[in-house]
Amino acid sequence: MAAAVTDDAFLDRYRQAKLKDAIYLIETHLDDLADTITKQAVIGRRDVNTNRRRKRLTGKAPGNEGAQEVADHLQNALSTAIRHAVEYRALPYPPECASMVGMCRWLRRNMITFAMTEGAPDWADDIELYGQKALQLIDLPPDDYVHIDYQRVRAANQQLVTVATVDVVARRLGDLGKGLNGRRIRTLVNRGLLKSDGEDAESGTKFYRLGDVLDAHHRHQRRQRAS
């Protein structure tokens, strides 16, 4: 499904980019959400380039009712957004959207189509809300983030972050991550202080090395103080 880029979309370009990043983050952590629901695994560091078999988010007795409820709301938000986007154009519901990962990928591929659907801002809000709630329920390992200091920036350099995920990482960095968020990354990129380390061909999401982000972030802070 394709749609021409237009400024008349119900969801503006900034919100489209924000939602695209949020959906990519949701897709990245679907396995972790499944583990949180069943309490079957200790969640380790994720390599964004690793393809793992997707776990089902239903079908087992949930060990964490709160996580299951959030997963249900998230799945409903995704399916509702897709259903309205296709029904708005008198099209059938896409068969590839039978799973949450399929829904995430469909929405990222068809973001302009969704953005031009009446009611898109409300459904985007729901997806972002329950995506954030799901992320808050996942027990990401603190050792990757909490104790990082200037002497460990080199080791941290291999951790990949995006505009959407850096907020989560920054909260676990303590003082080192103060003032670091998605808007900050955009500022650093626009001023030529930070370059991406790669890009997802399907979604256009850019990846940045955490060490590079931290270095650029603090260099920019020092420049601001000096001026």
Same domain, 205 and 103: no
**And the tokens for 156?**
């941290």
Q: Is residue 3 part of a domain?
A: no
Report if pTM > 0.95. Answer: no
Q: Which of 137, 158, 178 is the last residue of a domain?
A: 137
Same domain, 171 and 114: no
- Cβ atoms < 10 Å from Cβ of 8: 6
Higher-pLDDT residue of 190 and 4 is: 190
First to last CA, the chain: 50
Q: Which of 113, 137, 161 is the last residue of a domain?
A: 137
Specify whether the CB–CB gap between 53 and 42 falls below 8 A. no
Same domain, 97 and 185: no
CA–CA–CA angle 35, 38, 40 (5° rounding)? 65
Q: pLDDT tens digit string along 194-227?
A: 999 888 887 788 999 888 888 888 887 766 665 5
Annotate 56-83 with DSSP letters as a single string: PSSSS--S-HHHHHHHHHHHHHHHHHHH
Q: Is residue 88 part of a domain?
A: yes
Same domain, 74 and 116: yes
**And the tokens for 160?**
């990949």
Q: pLDDT tens digit string along 134-159?
A: 888 875 544 343 344 445 545 556 67
Handedness of CA 121, 136, 67, 101 (dihedral sign): positive
**Full domain range(s) for residue 64:** 13-137
Same domain, 109 and 189: no
Q: pLDDT tens digit string along 53-64?
A: 455 555 444 455
Q: Is residue 4 part of a domain?
A: no
Question: Does 127 score more than 90 pLDDT?
Answer: yes
Same domain, 95 and 159: no
Whose CA is closest to 189, among 206, 172, 169, 170? 206
Same domain, 125 and 181: no
Number of folded domains that form the chain:
2
